[in-house]
Amino acid sequence: MSQPARRPAAVLFDRDGTLIHDIPYNGDPDRVAPVAGAREALDRLRGKGVPIGVVTNQSGVARGLIAPEALRAVNDRVEALLGPFDVWEICPHDDGDRCGCRKPAPGLVLRAARRLGVRPQDCVVVGDIGRDVEAARAAGARGILVPTPATLPEEVAAAPEVAPGLAAAIDLVLGGIQLTAEDEGRTTRAGG
Ligand SMILES: [Mg+2]
Ligand SMILES: [Zn+2]
């Protein structure tokens, strides 16, 4: 079933394996490396005035593998490299904590939507594993999977929408947006 293409109220990104290369339990800002095309993808949304956020599981905090200050330093580096996000929602828990925010639970998506003042069902979640699209589904949001070589084939098969990369995911997100007269003018001038 194809999704209705309409402007999303916000786009929420998984962090590891989606915006930056996944280094398990990384607490070192110097090892933060953006995925190719991440900055451009985010800037397209910023340019359209679409709020963007990060929704990330960081169980390394609960496991004592990442200090909260190190997590903050890594996230600061993410913003330094990829630009500012309108909202960050982080789950520091592990499976045994049975919290409501660790993806595939919907808590991070619901909290991000609430902080942005938008409805979860008007949000898009972009992530690299099944947990991300399951969290989207549980929150009533639209989920788009951008697989990496580490993504399981069954997760790809189960995803409602799959994009080969972030640029393609943003194409899906923005696909139905009509250019405004102002945009058209800019395009024409740029083209001429
Ligand atoms: Mg991930
Ligand atoms: Zn949690």
pLDDT tens-digit profile of 167-189?
Answer: 999 999 998 554 444 544 444 43
Question: Do the domain assignments include residue 187?
Answer: yes
Question: Do the domain assignments include residue 73?
Answer: yes
**Active site includes 28?**
no
Question: Do the domain assignments include residue 5?
Answer: no
Which residue segment(s) compose the domain that 186 sits in?
10-191
pLDDT tens digit sequence for 114-165: 999 999 999 999 999 999 999 999 999 999 999 999 999 999 999 999 999 9
User: Residues near 150 by Cβ (< 8 Å), separated by ≥ 6?
Assistant: 17, 22, 128, 129
Question: Do the domain assignments include residue 4?
Answer: no
Q: Which residues surround ligand 2, an ion (CB under 5 A)?
A: 91, 93, 99, 101-102
CA of 192 to the centre of ligand 2 (A): 52
Question: Do the domain assignments include residue 181?
Answer: yes
- CATH (domain of 81): 3.40.50.1000
pLDDT tens digit sequence for 53-103: 999 999 999 999 999 999 999 999 999 999 999 999 999 999 999 999 999
Using the predicted structure, report yes or no on whether residue 6 has a pLDDT greater than 60. yes
Question: Do the domain assignments include residue 32?
Answer: yes
Name the pTM for this structure.
Answer: 0.89
Using the predicted structure, report yes or no on whether residue 192 has a pLDDT greater than 80. no
- Please, what's the largest Cα pairwise distance for the chain? 60
Question: Do the domain assignments include residue 63?
Answer: yes
Q: How many domains does the chain have?
A: 1
